Amino acid sequence: MRGMHLPVGGACTTVGGADLAVDGAYLDVGRACLEVGGASRRRQFLTLSKASLLSECAETQACLAVSKMAATQESTAPVPPDPVCSRHGDPLCWYRLEDEQLVCESCKASSKEGHRFWTVTHAFEERKTVLEITLQTLREKLGGSRKAHGLFVEMAHHTKTQVQQTERLIKDEFEKLQKFLQEEKESRLAALKREEGQKSQKLMQMIKEMTKEISSLSHTIKAIEKHLESEDISFLQNYKSTIEKIHGVKTRGKKPGQIHNDVVEKFCKATKEKEPEVPTGALIDVAKHLGNLKYSVWEKMVGVVNYTLVTLDPNTASRCLSLSDDLTSLSYSPINPPPPDNPERFASAAEILGSEGFSSGRRSWDVEVGANTDWAVGVVRESTNRKKRTKLSSAEGILALRFSNDTYTVDTTQLSLWRKPQKVRVEVDWSTGRMTFSDAAFNSHILSTIELTFKEKVFPYFYSFCEERSLQIAPETRSIAEGAH
Ligand SMILES: [Zn+2]
């Protein structure tokens, strides 16, 4: 039976190796036991091995095979003689601690002074205990490793889902921007065409009138030239009618001298003064269409695109919170399938953090709480335990204004508010440790102010346990210059 080798399948092929599998460790103990303890020890070992293997490793076929073989060997294997000392031929009944060797009584008697000995029974118990502790540790480690393995698999799967969703949302957002730009382009081209239509129509009208005038003048000039070419008598005979035609006036009742004096004089003066009227602003206002074009489009875009100072981090969201696509709104709604329990995620309540923490300066953000019946907003310390927490308090690393059961509390202090805020402003001055909650929709009326000391990075904190209403981070109304940063 010495050196009993049990085939254990692929994972643990031999017993007693330095890198024994967990279950092999039992077998190693057993072999040592057999070597020193004889038949009684062997039976003890086999009982131990069998029980251990059956109870601890029944899940694997390999280990079942081992246990069956152990049982078979127990019943059929011949019992070898007890091992004896190779020098003295006496039973090995002592265990020498210095070199961890089994020795006989004679060896013990002749050992160097100071050597320590245990009886075989005591040594067996001691060494067995050591290995059992090791085994228990390894089993716990195996359990932890299996759990981590499961989480990693879950996280790998989740990242694929995240990529698909995020890819879709990025495309959607760009489509919206492209649609906006396309509409803006069409609107500006239409404005150009409209101006072209108006101005070209006006110019065509002016050209038409001028053509008419040119024709009329040419006709009159020719008529006068022709008249001037006529003989004295006929010239004088036709003079009156020619004058009337030119000036478009009747000379009846007037003497020819009068016509010459007033009408002709006035006509010549007016004709000289009457310059063709060339209008200003008749050309296309190119500057209006092209000047700061990109800037003005961007300015308009900023007007229609929401900006929030805080964006939610979905990787911190409790599995009972769902978020809007733009990560500005949270609502209580269990997610299926639940996301993996990664370290950043809150496990105990319907909580989530803003995506960016800070450890200096002042920050402020508004949250539309509306008719939500159970909510909290504030900040949380980065190191706060996200898996096991019992209450919302500064002692647990969370400083928030909470509304629940129609009661407002900050940390552990109850507030008596005379009206329900619809939009809460959270202002945090990390450097001075001053934190203020105010009613953003009501003249920024201060609801509560707290003085404390921040020692580490803090993150915006949100909690919502209302199935009907969500919490919405309010968009900022910022100037273009600020928006550029
Ligand atoms: Zn001996």
pLDDT tens digit sequence for 114-162? 899 999 999 999 999 999 999 999 999 999 999 999 999 999 999 999 9
DSSP string of 237-297, one letter each residue: HHHHHHHHHHHT---TTS-HHHIIIIIIHHHHHHHHH------SS-S--HHHHHTTHHHHH
Q: How confident is the model at residue 71 (pLDDT cuts 50, 70, 90)?
A: low
CA of 97 to the centre of ligand 1 (A): 15
pLDDT, tens digit (0-9, with 9 covering 90-100), for 222-272: 988 988 888 888 888 888 787 777 776 665 556 655 666 677 777 788 888
Q: How far is the CA of 430 from the centre of ligand 1 (A)?
A: 77
Per-residue confidence (pLDDT) for residue 45, from 0 to 100: 40
- For 133-170, b where at least 16 C-beta lie within 10 A, e where not — what string? eebeeeeeeeeeeeeeeeeeebeeebeeeeeeeeeeee
Q: How far is the CA of 100 from the centre of ligand 1 (A)?
A: 14
For ligand 1, the distance from its centroid to the CA atom of residue 104, given in whole angstroms, is 4
Ligand 1 centroid distance, CA of 85 (Å): 5
Q: Using CA atoms, how far apart are residues 98 and 355, in angstroms rounded to an integer?
A: 60
Q: How far is the CA of 350 from the centre of ligand 1 (A)?
A: 72
Question: How many angstroms does the Cα of residue 28 sit away from the middle of ligand 1?
Answer: 24
- Ligand 1 mean position, distance from CA 35 (Å): 15
| Joined tokens for residue 259 | 């016509």
pLDDT of 168 > 80? The answer is yes
Q: How far is the CA of 81 from the centre of ligand 1 (A)?
A: 17
Contact 465, 330 (CB under 8 A): no
pLDDT for residue 68 is more than 50: yes
* Distance in Å from the first CA to the final CA of the chain: 80
CB-based contact 376:383 (threshold 8 Å): no
Question: What's the average model confidence in pLDDT over 339-363?
Answer: 94
pLDDT exceeds cutoff 90 at 389: no
Q: Which amino acid is at 429?
A: D
Cα(89) to centroid of ligand 1, in Å? 7
Taking residues 47-70, report their average pLDDT.
44
Ligand 1 centroid to Cα of residue 18, in Å, is 28
Distance 42 CA to ligand 1 centre (A): 22
Q: What span, in angstroms and rounded, lies between the C-alpha atoms of 228 and 91?
A: 164
Tell me the average pLDDT of the chain.
Answer: 82
DSSP code per residue over 236-250 = HHHHHHHHHHHHT--
Angle at 241 between CA 239 and CA 247, to 5 degrees: 100
CA 93 to ligand 1 center in whole angstroms: 10
pLDDT the model gives residue 239: 81
- Tokens at 428, concatenated: 């945090």
The whole-number pLDDT of residue 232 equals 81
Summarize the confidence of residues 404-413 as an average pLDDT.
Answer: 92
Position 381 pLDDT exceeds 50: yes
Among candidate residues 41, 40, 33, 39, the one with its CA nearest the CA of residue 128: 33
Rounded (10°) angle between helices 120-229 and 22-57: 90
How confident is the model at residue 38, as a pLDDT? 43
Percent of the chain's residues with pLDDT above 90: 58
Helices (H), 274-401: 286-290, 293-304
Q: Report CA(45)–ligand 1 centroid distance (Å).
A: 25
* Helix (H) and strand (E) counts in the chain: 10, 16
445-451 β-sheet, strand order: 321-323, 329-332, 471-473, 362-368, 423-429, 434-439, 445-451
- Rounded to the nearest angstrom, the distance between the alpha carbon of 129 and the centre of ligand 1 is 27
Counting every residue, how long is the chain? 485
- Residue 108 alpha carbon to ligand 1 centre in Å: 7
**Single-letter amino acid code for the residue at 210:** M
pLDDT surpassing 70 at residue 351: yes
Taking the centre of ligand 1 as the mean of its atom positions, its distance from the CA of residue 34, in whole angstroms, is 18
Question: How many beta carbons lie within 10 A of that of residue 427, not counting itself?
Answer: 18
The rounded distance, in Å, linking the Cα atoms of 72 and 61 is 16
CA of 82 to the centre of ligand 1 (A): 14
| Per-residue pLDDT reduced to its tens digit, 424-457 | 999 999 999 999 999 998 878 889 999 989 999 9
Q: What is the mean pLDDT of residues 264-290?
A: 87
- Residue 321 and residue 331: Cα distance in Å, rounded? 6
**Å from CA of 377 to ligand 1 middle:** 79
* Alpha-helix runs per DSSP H in 305-346: none
Residue 245: exposure state from Cβ atoms within 10 A (0-12, 13-18, ≥19): middle
